[in-house]
Amino acid sequence: MAKHKHEHDSHETIQEMLRAMSNHGWRITDQRKSLATLFAEAEGYLSPKDVYESMRQKYPGVSFDTVYRNLRLLSEMGVLEQFHLNDSLKFRARCQSHHHHHMICIQCEKTVTFEFCPMKQVDLPSDFQIVNHRFEIFGYCSECSAQASTP
């Protein structure tokens, strides 16, 4: 059952990414479909180099600059989340289904979502129009904490 749900989530993620590209005037090419599929099926975060290496296998002529530019634009469109982890830039598909935040292990990059939103607890100026926000907690997951404390 979990695999079926993941396949459905992957398909939805691909469709959301392609819709965003189309809505921003991008032609939907095989290369862009492959990029959407790569992120929809990724288990964790991908660096620009990871994406480049993966895309280069199927599209040998693709340049790193093209891959990087597409990642930044997809992030600006709101379909990719970008994070700075361990001094490098990483991307992953943004969950569009519901609002949540993340706890991220800085060693293994395991991500745990949580539903609590701290924005509901903050008294912000009423004359500031918020359009988006993110909240991430960085630390060590239980497995990495246990490994660090084992002699």
Binding site members for Fe cation:
99, 133
Known binding residues: 99, 105, 108, 133, 141, 144
Known binding residues for Zn(2+): 105, 108, 141, 144
8 A C-beta contact, residue 119 and residue 133:
yes
Question: 84-121 b/e with 16+ CB inside 10 Å = b?
Answer: ebeeebbbbbbeeeeeebbebbeeebbbeeeeeeeeee
What DSSP designation does 103 have? E
**CA–CA distance, 143 with 88 (Å, rounded to integer):** 22
